[in-house]
Amino acid sequence: MILTDTHTHIYYEKDPKQKAEQMQRCLDAGISRLFLPNVDVESVAMIDEMTAAWPENCFAMAGLHPCDVHEGYQEKLDQIEATIAPRKIYAIGEIGIDLHWDKTTLSIQEDAFRQQIRWAKYLDLPIVIHCREAFDEVFAVLDSERDDMLRGIFHCFTGNAEQAARAIDLNFYLGIGGVVTYKNSGLDAVVALQDMENLVLETDAPYLAPVPHRGKRNESSYLIHVASRIADIKGLPLEEVARITTENSKKIFGI
C-alpha cells in the first residue's frame, strides 16, 4: 500500500533526529510520497534539504504563501522565482488568498496569486491553492485565468458541495486532510458526495492533526487516519483509497 501526502510542512521540524524519526514513521505506515509546499524565501533551503536527504520520497514545490504577501512582496516573488530553474519542482504552491488574518492586503494577494498562476502555466505545472475565508475571491481569479493549462489542488478543502463542484469544474482536485475526521466539520458529508477520482490526501503537518491526535502537533504519518476516515465514508477498503488517491497525485504532479 502506497499513501501520498500531497501537502506537508515536515521540513519545519528543526531537530534532525526527530525529522528522521518522522520520516521513518511515514515509511513504516506506507506513506512514501510527500509533497512539500513552499511558503516563503527562507523555506526554500529547508525543502531542498529534505529532497536531498529523501530524494525518492520528498518532492518540492515553489511559491509564496498569501499570508506572506505584504509590502515588498514583489522582491520575495522575484527571489522565489529565481530558485525554480536550478531545481526540480512539481507544483507552484502554496499560493492563493487568505482573508482570515488581514483583509487589507486583498489586492496585492490577488496580484501575487495571478503572477504565480502564470509561472505555473509557463512551466506546465499544477498550482496548489491556499484558500481561507476567500472562496469567492479565489474563484474570481481562477475564472479569469481559466484555460487548458490551469489545474491543481484546492489544499485543505473545507468548502461546501457547491464549492467542491465549482473547484472540480475548474480542473482541480480536492485536498482532504484532518478536518474530515472532526465530528462537526461537515466535511464528511461533502466528501461522501464526491467521486474518489477527484480527491487527494494531505496532512498540512504540523497543523490540523486528525482525530485521535486533534489539538496536538500533526505529522505526515497521521495521514493514515485521514485515509481510514475516507474509507469509512466511502465504504471502501483502505488499500483502495490509497491506490486511487495516489494515482490521482501522480496525474497532478507527474511523478
The CATH number assigned to the domain holding 212 equals: 3.20.20.140
Question: What is the longest distance spanned by two Cα atoms in the chain?
Answer: 49
**pLDDT tens, residue by residue, 196-218:** 999 999 999 999 999 999 999 99
**pLDDT tens, residue by residue, 8-62:** 999 999 999 999 999 999 999 999 999 999 999 999 999 999 999 999 999 999 9
* Structural domain boundaries, residue 70: 3-253
Single-letter amino acid, residue 68: D
Q: List the beta strands (DSSP E) in the chain.
A: 3-5, 31-36, 58-62, 89-98, 127-132, 152-154, 172-176, 199-201
Task: Give the pTM.
Answer: 0.98
> How many domains would you assign to the chain?
1
State the Cα–Cα distance between residues 232 and 87, nearest whole angstrom.
39
State the Cα–Cα distance between residues 117 and 169, nearest whole angstrom.
17
